[in-house]
């Protein structure tokens, strides 16, 4: 009986000790869940406040706040073209930059006739590097640019491993996706600082939030743009300059090189025009945003899921896209 009593006493002591630890772990777990839940609710509320309330504001807000001239790079297609049309709808005069002179001329004519604004075009090939920027700087000498939209972009042909990407393609990605944004800001920012007002929009990508296999260089250029934009905003917001990092996910465009199937769901992959109508309403309000309400939900969940799950899903999707693209070649 003594042995039994000793065992029961030992059992009770162990159980009591375990209960203390269990209670502590329960409190810690409850605190963690509450913290994450509150943060999620706050992020969701911020998303609703950002994407729906600003669209009620007058369309002439940007013209009054930043001035009469806006410049858009990569203006002949996709998001750049949509931004040019939306800015023109708000009565802002435009400077459009692209490597395609014919598209620029046709676009300038159409916008001038439709919106009765002044449009100035510049043909420039950003893949050529430093020699591109001196003519642009001279052409902009007398222009007071209030808004700069850096939309020029070299996309990937399709997902592929790093060593399968040509050296020429790598230089294009660096010269266009990174260098062009830096140099265009370098050209227009001094005037904005002098006037103590201005807005810069850099098109990054929602896929920059976690590593994306088979898109290593492309997605990394978008990570650079996101970090660069956020740091630049910290530097120049006190001087009256608003720098926005725009983080779109899939967008349906005529020039898309490949499709991930999301074009069947317009609410997941909106057209460039629909996307920009939402994104432009966030300018001056949020310095880092996916720009479109559904993309904000995607970005919110992407931030909370484990990195291994993101990589697993991206690998499956990119393998499928790569096989589909290679079969077509």
In a domain, 235, yes or no: yes
The mean pLDDT of the chain is 84
Least confident of 163-177, 209-223, 246-260, 278-292: 246-260
Given a cut of 80, is residue 262 above it in pLDDT? Answer: no
Instruction: Tell me: pLDDT of 259 over 60.
Output: no
pLDDT for res 61: 76
Answer whether residue 30 is part of any domain: no
Q: Which token pair is 292?
A: 């479109």
Whole-number Å distance between alpha carbons of 299 and 302:
5
Average pLDDT rounded to a whole number, residues 266-286: 88
Given 3-state DSSP classes, what are the helix, strand and coil percentages for the chain, each rounded to the nearest 5? 65, 10, 25
% of residues, the chain, pLDDT over 70:
77
Q: Is 41 inside any structural domain?
A: no
Residue 35 lies in a domain: no
Number of domains composing the chain? 1
Over 70: is that where the pLDDT of 5 sits? Answer: no
218 an active-site residue? Answer: yes
- The rounded distance, in Å, linking the Cα atoms of 213 and 222 is 14
Q: What's the first-to-final CA gap in the chain, in angstroms?
A: 84
Whether 151 is in a domain gets the answer yes
| Among 133, 218, 224, 292, the one annotated catalytic | 218
The CATH number for 310's domain is: 3.40.50.720
Q: Tokens 């983080």, residue?
A: 247
Decide if 26 is inside a domain: no
Position 168 in a domain: yes
Contact 209, 301 (CB under 8 A): no
Lowest mean pLDDT among 69-73, 103-107, 173-177, 265-269: 265-269
The pair of structure tokens assigned to 41 is 């609710």
Please determine, for residue 258, whether its predicted confidence score (pLDDT) is greater than 80. Answer: no
At 137, is the pLDDT very low, low, confident or very high (cuts 50, 70, 90)? very high
| Chain center to CA of 142 | 30
Determine, yes or no, domain membership for 39: no
Measured from the Cβ of residue 148, the count of other Cβ atoms closer than 10 Å reads: 26
Residue-range definition of the domain harbouring residue 273: 55-328
pLDDT score recorded for residue 263: 47
Q: Which residue bears the tokens 């692209």?
A: 98
CA Rg, the chain, in Å? 25
């Amino acid at each position: 009986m003594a042995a039994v009593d000793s065992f029961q006493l030992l059992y009770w002591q162990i159980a009591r000790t375990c209960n203390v630890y269990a209670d502590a772990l329960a409190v810690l777990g409850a605190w963690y869940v509450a913290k994450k839940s509150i943060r999620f609710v706050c992020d969701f509320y911020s998303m609703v406040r950002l994407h729906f309330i600003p669209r009620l504001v007058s369309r002439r807000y940007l013209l009054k706040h930043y001035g009469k001239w806006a410049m858009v790079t990569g203006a002949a297609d996709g998001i750049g073209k949509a931004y040019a049309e939306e800015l023109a709808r708000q009565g802002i005069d435009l400077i459009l930059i692209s490597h395609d002179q014919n598209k620029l001329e046709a676009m300038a004519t159409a916008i001038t006739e439709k919106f009765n604004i002044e449009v100035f075009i510049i043909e420039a090939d950003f893949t050529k590097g430093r020699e591109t920027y001196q003519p642009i700087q001279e052409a902009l000498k007398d222009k007071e640019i209030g808004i700069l939209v850096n939309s020029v972009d070299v996309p990937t042909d399709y997902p592929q491993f790093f060593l399968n990407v040509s050296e020429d393609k790598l230089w294009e990605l660096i010269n266009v996706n990174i260098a062009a944004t830096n140099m265009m800001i370098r050209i227009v920012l001094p005037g904005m600082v002098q006037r103590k007002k201005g807005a810069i929009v850099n098109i990054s990508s929602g896929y920059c939030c976690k590593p994306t296999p088979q898109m290593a260089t492309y997605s990394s250029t978008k990570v650079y743009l996101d970090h660069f934009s956020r740091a630049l905003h910290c530097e120049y917001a006190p001087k009256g300059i608003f720098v926005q990092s725009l983080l779109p996910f899939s967008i349906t465009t005529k020039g898309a090189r490949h499709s991930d199937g999301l074009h069947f769901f317009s609410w997941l992959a909106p057209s460039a025009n629909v996307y920009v109508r939402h994104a432009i309403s966030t300018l001056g309000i949020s310095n880092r945003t996916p720009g479109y309400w559904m993309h904000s939900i995607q970005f919110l969940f992407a931030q909370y899921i484990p990195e291994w799950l993101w990589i697993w899903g991206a690998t499956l999707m990119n393998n499928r896209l790569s096989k589909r693209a290679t079969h077509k070649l």
